[in-house]
């Protein structure tokens, strides 16, 4: 089957956060969802469920649990059982539930900086101290294995809130990196809360490795959070899941719902099952398209906007652009919004002070929109000189 990701889909007046925040002269390349229609197998499954016309509270059926088990085995050679899965309305509630469940006020949690804002801010919600582990800025966001300070940070942390693949750098952590990280966590009895929401969008024949899949022993200290939401563009259906193989930890995690984290959206459950069961072909075509967008973006920036530096993202539809050499009078995100009319995510969302001269660009859009956005960004910089 041919999937055409070049087909423009207008998202105005559809309740889209991405396309309603700014005025219509702005191209929105900010929040992390894509402008593509979902796989036909998802639409079909949703339509069938819609026709039933009764939409009471939902529960994850055994067929969905078994499908997730199969998907983990097929994609990551990771053997889990249906009982390990806890359905959630999102990954963000998931890592907050984990922090609430396993840490007490005053404890520390290590995070990789720069990082997705809800990860950055989660520790403060639970009166936890955040310990930053700075990723290698000159490389592609790899773990600073040679620098001993990360070990110190982990030594003093009760939990590591890992983001792999990483938002915003797109870095995919290798098995060797993960083994070293897991080893240190093991030494210091550090819990690993692993946000792996971007796990299915990895490029260049890279392979995602769930940190919990390294060994049954490591798995016992892991709360893994995943969803079909990013890869299949169903984030608005609010469905994700945790995989927790230690039954005691799972019970403790469940207890931290505290009447605030409710059951899951019925359409999200249907869409997730359809995506994992029959969406492989679509996902593979999407990855080819996104990889093309990524290469187009990197090439144009390097050629036409050389003052801006970026590493080729190994994963996600997000690119992390260092704009410090532009020496702009305002933060780059404001410049691109006000002058180029392109909305990007502001670097200071990913660290409070150190990354204000960065922007994150979402290339999960048609090549045509990406090209127009780049034209505008390049013109806006040329007009400065
Ligand atoms: C790394 C990461 N974790 C979590 C989320 C949000 O997940 P959810 O919508 O399932 O809460 C995002 C969304 O951009 C993300 O990039």
Q: Are residues 332 and 272 in the same domain?
A: no
Number of residues that this document lists for the chain: 385
Number of domains forming the structure of the chain? 2
Distance of CA 374 to the CA centre of its chain: 23
On whether residue 2 sits in a domain, the answer given is: no
The arithmetic mean of pLDDT across residues 173-196, rounded, is: 96
Give the list of residues 6+ apart from residue 142 with CB closer than 8 angstroms, or none.
Answer: 135, 136, 171, 173, 177
Nearest-angstrom CA–CA distance, 288 and 192: 32
Q: Give residue 91's pLDDT.
A: 98
Mean pLDDT of 42-57: 97
Tell me which residues have their CB closer than 6 angstroms to ligand 1: 32, 90-92, 116, 163, 167, 195, 197, 227, 229, 235, 240
- In this structure, are 225 and 147 located in the same domain? yes
In a domain, 221, yes or no: yes
Say if residue 166 is in the same domain as residue 52: yes
Question: How does pLDDT run across 250-305, given as a tens digit for each residue?
Answer: 999 999 998 888 889 999 999 999 999 999 999 999 999 999 999 999 999 999 99
Q: What average pLDDT does the structure give for the chain?
A: 96
* Tokens of residue 89, six digits: 């309305």
Where is the domain boundary, 245, 278, 311?
278
Could you list the residue range(s) of the whole structural domain that residue 174 is in?
A: 43-278
Residue 119 CA to residue 151 CA, distance in Å, equals: 20
Q: Are residues 298 and 155 in the same domain?
A: no
Mean of the pLDDT values across residues 10-14? 96
Q: What average pLDDT does this structure show over 75-102?
A: 98
At 342 the pLDDT is: 98
- Residue 108 maps to which CATH number? 3.40.640.10
Pair (61, 171) in one structural domain: yes
Q: Are residues 61 and 206 in the same domain?
A: yes
Substitution site in 18, 167, 224 for ligand 1 pocket (most atoms within 8 Å of beta carbon)? 167
The pLDDT tens digits of the residues spanning 26-49 come to: 999 999 999 999 999 999 999 999
Q: Rounded to two decimals, what is the model's pTM?
A: 0.97
Instruction: Kindly indicate the confidence band of residue 138, based on its pLDDT and cuts at 50, 70 and 90.
Output: low
Average pLDDT over residues 164-188: 96
pLDDT of residue 285: 98
**What is the residue-wise DSSP string for 326-344?**
G--SS-HHHHIIIII-EE-
The predicted-structure confidence for 355-372, as pLDDT tens digits, reads as follows 999 999 999 999 999 999
pLDDT at 1: 83
Atom of ligand 1 nearest to the CA of 32: 14
**Residue 102, pLDDT above cutoff 70:** yes
């Amino acid at each position: 089957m041919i999937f055409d990701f070049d087909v423009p889909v207008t998202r105005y007046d559809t309740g889209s956060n991405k396309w309603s925040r700014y005025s219509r002269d702005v191209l929105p390349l900010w929040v992390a969802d894509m402008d593509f229609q979902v796989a036909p197998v998802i639409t079909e499954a949703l339509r069938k469920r819609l026709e039933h016309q009764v939409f009471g509270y939902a529960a994850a059926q055994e067929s969905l649990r078994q499908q997730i088990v199969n998907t983990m085995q097929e994609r990551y050679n990771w053997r889990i059982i249906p009982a390990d899965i806890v359905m959630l309305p999102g990954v963000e509630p998931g890592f907050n539930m984990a922090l609430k469940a396993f840490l007490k006020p005053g404890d520390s949690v290590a995070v990789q900086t720069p990082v997705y804002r809800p990860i950055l801010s989660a520790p403060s919600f639970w009166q936890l101290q955040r310990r930053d582990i700075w990723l290698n800025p000159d490389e592609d966001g790899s773990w600073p294995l040679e620098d001993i300070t990360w070990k110190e940070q982990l030594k003093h942390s009760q939990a590591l809130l890992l983001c792999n693949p990483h938002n915003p750098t797109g870095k995919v952590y290798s098995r060797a990196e993960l083994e070293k990280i897991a080893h240190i966590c093991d030494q210091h009895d550090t819990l690993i809360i692993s946000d792996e929401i971007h796990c299915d969008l990895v490029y260049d024949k890279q392979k995602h490795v769930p940190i919990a899949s390294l060994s049954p022993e490591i798995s016992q200290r892991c709360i893994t959070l995943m969803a079909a939401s990013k890869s299949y563009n169903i984030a608005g259906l609010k469905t994700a899941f945790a995989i927790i193989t230690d039954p005691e930890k799972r019970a403790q995690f469940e207890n931290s719902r505290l009447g605030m984290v409710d059951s899951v959206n019925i359409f999200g459950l249907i869409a997730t099952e359809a995506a994992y069961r029959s969406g492989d072909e679509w996902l593979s075509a999407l990855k080819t398209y996104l990889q093309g967008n990524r290469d187009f973006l990197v090439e144009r920036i390097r050629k036409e906007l050389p003052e801006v530096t970026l590493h080729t993202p190994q994963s996600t539809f997000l690119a992390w652009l260092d704009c410090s050499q532009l020496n702009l009078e305002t933060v780059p995100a404001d410049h691109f919004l006000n002058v180029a009319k392109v909305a990007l995510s502001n670097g200071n969302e990913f660290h409070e002070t150190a990354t204000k001269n960065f922007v994150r660009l979402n290339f999960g859009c048609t090549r045509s929109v990406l090209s127009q956005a780049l034209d505008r960004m390049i013109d806006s910089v040329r007009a400065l000189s």
